[in-house]
Each structure stands twice: as C-alpha cells, then as structure tokens.
A and B are shown apart, each in its own frame.
Chain A
C-alpha cells in the first residue's frame, strides 16, 4: 500500500469505529484524540482492526506512533508496503 492508500484505510477503520464522526478535513498533524471523540477502547479497536484486516502487529511500546494520522501512516508504511489494496 502507498501512504495515500494507508490513509484511506485508516479513515475507513475510523468510520467503522466512530460512524457519527465527521472525518472530512481531519487534520493529519493533530492527534486523533485532540480532534475526534476517540478514547482508549476505540484506540485498541483500531489496533485490532489493523490486525484483523492486514495481519499488522503493533506492540504496545509502539502505540505512541499512532497518535495522529501523519505519524500513523509513517509508522505503518514499512509494515504495509507489501500489502496490495483490495
């Protein structure tokens, strides 16, 4: 997946987890939790969804990389580079 495709995938997961949230104009460099109604349980749902959909394993010590859209895409890029978007 390209960074742009990873971004779309994350938006799709966010939309599943928080369907009431308006994700248009999400600020990529601002922490998710500073602009969306996401709590810790939602965060773990995102991690689990990445594992279910793409078998991406994210250890707890790396959770800090998933703070914002920009940092999440950067972190996931090497892990998802060989995944073909369906």
Chain B
C-alpha cells in the first residue's frame, strides 16, 4: 500500500463560464476582502470564476479539516507564487492552475519541498513557432517526429504543461528560459527533466506526472523532494464532490 506521506493530491473543480454556480458561491464565501477585490478586476465571468474557485479551493484544502478556510493567510513570493503564512497546520506546498472550465489545486505533504501544476484544454490553438522559439532542442526534435495536426498539437500541450508545472513549482514563471531545461520520455506518464542550465541544479530531486484529469484536458504535476526521495504518487480527486 502506498505511503500517504508520499502522496500528492490533485483536486479538479468545474468552473462556470458565465453566471457563478454553486461551486463559485461556496468558494467565494471563503475568500477575504482583498481576494474578492482582485476577483472583481476580471472583466470576463469565466476569469473571475476561475480566480474565485482557485483561491477558494486552496483555502478549503490546505490544513484539511483542522483549519477553517477563512483563517488562512497567504503571502506572495517575489514572482507572485502564493504561500501560506498562517496557521502552521495549513503550511503545505500547493499550486493552482486553471483553464477554460477547469481549475486544479495540487496539495503536497511536508516532505515535498515544491509542487507545481498546469492544465490546458486539448485542442487549444497553438502557434508552432512558439516551440521553435522557446523549447529546448530535444523537445523540438520530439515534436517534429510527430505527425502534423492534432497529434503534434496535443504533444505540444503535453510538453507545455510539463514546462509550466516546473516553472510554477520553482516560482519564477517565464523568467526562467524554457530552453534551460528539457523533458525526456515525454510520451510516458512520468516524463523526466534534464536541467540544461547549471543555475537550475540543486539538491532537490524532481518527479513529473503527465495527467489527463478529465476527458479533453491535459495537465502536469511537478514535485520536488530532497535527494533520495521515495516515489511520489498522485491521487486525483474531484473537488465538485466535496462541496455537494
């Protein structure tokens, strides 16, 4: 049986593209005033809903039953990655990702130093030049080995979500050049990363998971542990069921 302390939980929630629904209402009740002000800046309902559900999910899930969602206080690192300031029971590594109609929140355990998550809807319009300009050469070669059309586009999104999960985990966003690291075994469920820039190397070991959380979506999870960490397991769960 797998060790719960090695399990990263990946929660997925449905969001409305128009009028807020039950999940949005529930999540909004957990937000503080600043978060609601930020949510109200979005001009489209779909963006507002994703923001509300993303932050609401984190509040509900961090600390689990031991913490009231409203009592959690967040701060943001230099490039904007949020983390928990208090209470201590909620200080778990987490990361949120959203795309049209779906929000995901990844929650790690104490032994996980960093987690990152990204998700995209399959079929999203992509610019082939983006890979040429920003991906590493092994990834460009991998894409060019795929037949043009849907298969290549989906492979692009698979690499993109993996790359995003890494830069979101380390918290630098796009200021880390995407060609400074490369994924190999991309078609597997657990691709591996090669850190091409020595500045990215550290005493942490990385594990990655390529996941289709729901039909029509592709996502990736990044988990960093101190060296010699055991194999991490990702447990996929529906947040919708939690707020029924």
Binding site for B on A (CB under 8 A): 20-22, 27, 30, 34-37, 39-41, 43-45, 48, 60-61, 63-64
Contacts and interface: CB of A to CB of B under 8 A. Distances in A.
Contacts of A20: 44
Interface in B1-57: 38, 41-44, 46-47
Nearest to A45: B127
B43 A44 contact: no
B87 interface: no
B41 A37 contact: no
For the residues of B in contact with A, the DSSP-based class is: helix
9 contacts: A20-B44, A21-B43, A34-B41, A34-B42, A37-B46, A39-B99, A44-B174, A60-B175, A64-B79
Contacts of A45: 127, 130
Given A40-B164, A48-B129, A64 B44 contact: no
Contacts, number: 50
Interface residues of B, number: 24
Sort A-B residue pairs by CB-CB distance and give the 4 closest, nearest first. A37-B47, A60-B177, A35-B41, A34-B41
B130 A44 contact: yes
Contacts of A21: 43-44
B81 to A, nearest CB: 13
B135 to A, nearest CB: 11
Nearest to B78: A64
B44 A41 contact: no
Contacts of A35: 41-43
Contacts of A61: 175
